[in-house]
Amino acid sequence: MAIRNDINMEYVVEFLNNLLQVDREFTNNLIMTRFKCNDKLTCHPTIQNIMNPEMTGVYAGFLGVLNGMFGVDDEGATKGSGGIHVCVKKGEILTFATKDQKVDFGRKIEEM
């Protein structure tokens, strides 16, 4: 397979959902694991990060970096969030979706 130059959020979501089917445990660990950030990364304009109330500091993970590549929503109810969303139930990933897709119990429902 050749190197792709046309990657978009929809492709990444499809890829992550396929990865979830191939190895659910690996994908869950990859996405749910976060690492402590330094001050520069904490202030990055697009990389998503969170404060962990159980630990000191700010943390980011792989999904936050992927979302950072595509930028952040600059308006509406999702202002400041990335375009790739993950649906999690009881600590387990059910599915990935773009911000324009609705997720219902792990099934993607295209907006009408």
Distance CA 57, CA 34 (A): 11
pLDDT computed for residue 109 by the predictor: 44
Distance CA 12, CA 19 (A): 10
pTM assigned to the model: 0.81
Tokens, residue 31: 């996405």
pLDDT computed for residue 104 by the predictor: 59
Tell me, what amino acid is at 14? E
pLDDT by residue (tens digit) across 97-112? 988 876 654 454 443 2
pLDDT by residue (tens digit) across 7-49? 999 999 999 999 999 999 999 999 999 999 998 988 888 888 8
Tokens, residue 98: 């773009």
Distance CA 73, CA 88 (A): 21
**Domain boundaries defined on the chain:** 9-103
